[in-house]
Structure 1
Amino acid sequence: MDEDARAVAELSLRWDRAVQERDVSDAQDVLHEDYALVLVRPAKAVMTREQWLALLPDYVVDEWNIREQVIDVDGDVAAVLQRVDMKATVAGQDRSGTFVTSDLWRRVNGGWKVWRRHSTPLSSGELPAGDRDHPHLDVLRRWFEAFERSDLETAREILASDAVLHVSKPSHLKGDYVGFVGFLDFYERRRAAAGPHFRYRVDELLAGDKSAAALLTLSRMMDDTLEEWKQIAFYRIGGEQILAMWFIEEEPG
């Protein structure tokens, strides 16, 4: 391995550590000013540098194992191809599985910066089908899939700006949360209360003329024991947006 390849390999490890430690400052030093995360599966999405850095605190990595890695350098461009086994959640959504990542690095002012990451899951769960012809279920699928691929901009567009999330249970989170910022505030409180290993899984989607519902399984690890409990989420939908939400869930434990 030549000097440039070693430098890129070391920076790649530094970036991995920044992600695992959710170190925004260290990640900023590695990312090119025009960095973007690009996905084509389960759907095309592009996340800018600013969006990715904003999401990093919610990227909880429990395991990150590089199974294969190939590094090629040609002049001022380098490519790092990896197959990674990851156990992680992103904004509460389980993103565990095997991924192939392709990182493109560019030499900038004598140093290397990662310019693009293309990430493709080789194994990942799919949302339940429900009635695929119902437009309200299409809205819900797009809502959950946006979080699955960490596409907060799409999620923000799906939720009406004045939408209210009404939470009745659990009691310590009871209240109304307004707009997308309010929804994220609820999620942060929910995750903090459950602990760092909080996850959710969509079990079933249902739809009616004016509303839709999702049955979810929530989980966390407590003293090396998996705890699971249910949440029912009701959504009032108009056009292609969620207008209001009601969450009710069991008490864990």
Structure 2
Amino acid sequence: MKSRHEIMERVAEANAEFYQAIENGDIDQMRRVWAEEDQAPDLVCVNPGWPLLRGRAEILRAWSLVMANVPYIQYVLTETHIGVSGDVAMVTCEENVLTAEDDSPGFVAGGQVVTTNLFVRTEGGWRLWSHHASPVMLDEDGSED
């Protein structure tokens, strides 16, 4: 039996793999990150400004589009907290996002997003069940309202 600390480390690793998949544009890694439908029914994903994505096929199709159309993205996660109850884990964090949305040299946009990621324990490890991200509205000087 793993200690609570070891379990939380495995959840943190699964969460990091999700962001690595996006940053590296690795759809195969993204497939490994998300749970299968029989492991976690009704998979959902909400990205800022997008409609609700429901089901593994729809979610992976959307991530494929993101990865194909964003030449550069990097996440700096802050305020990360992990809660575990049985076979379910919740990770909340702030995503500080840097991205280039076109091929212009040096063009980088930034933003802050608050996120809740739910994971389910499977035979193959912790897998993503739900990702919900919401933008943080900043005032004109760049601080939170």
1:28 matched to 2:27: no
Matched residue, 1:15: 18
Which one has more relative contact order, counting CA pairs under 8 Å at least 6 apart?
A: 2
Matched residue, 1:53: 63
- Identify unmatched segments of 5+ residues in structure 2: 38-42, 139-145
Matched residue, 2:96: 85
- Specify the SS of the correspondent of 1:3: helix
Matched residue, 2:141: none
TM-score (norm 2): 0.71
- The number of equivalent residue pairs is 122
Farther off after superposition, 101-110 or 67-76: 101-110
Structure 1 segments of 4 or more deviating over 4 A? 89-92
**Which among 77, 91, 98 is matched to residue 112 of structure 2?**
98
Looking at structure 1, the residues matched to 124 and 34 of structure 2 have their Cα atoms a distance apart, in angstroms, of: 14
What is the CA distance between 1:111 and its match in structure 2?
1.6
TM-score (norm 1): 0.43
What is the CA distance between 1:102 and its match in structure 2?
0.4
**Which among 61, 78, 81 is matched to residue 70 of structure 1?**
81
5 Å-filtered alignment, 1:203-218, equals none
What is the CA distance between 1:68 and its match in structure 2?
1.3
- Identify unmatched segments of 5+ residues in structure 1: 125-253
Looking at structure 2, the residues matched to 72 and 101 of structure 1 have their Cα atoms a distance apart, in angstroms, of: 14
- Specify the SS of the correspondent of 2:93: strand
CA spacing shift, 1:50–1:61, aligned 2, 3 Å:
same
Matched residue, 2:40: none
Matched residue, 1:109: 123
1:119 matched to 2:133: yes
**Letter of the structure 2 residue corresponding to residue 107 of structure 1:** R
CA spacing shift, 1:79–1:95, aligned 2, 3 Å:
farther
**Letter of the structure 1 residue corresponding to residue 78 of structure 2:** R
Q: Give 1 or 2 for the bigger CA radius of gyration.
A: 1
Aligned-residue identity in percent:
24
Structure with more strand by fraction:
1
CA spacing shift, 1:90–1:112, aligned 2, 3 Å:
farther
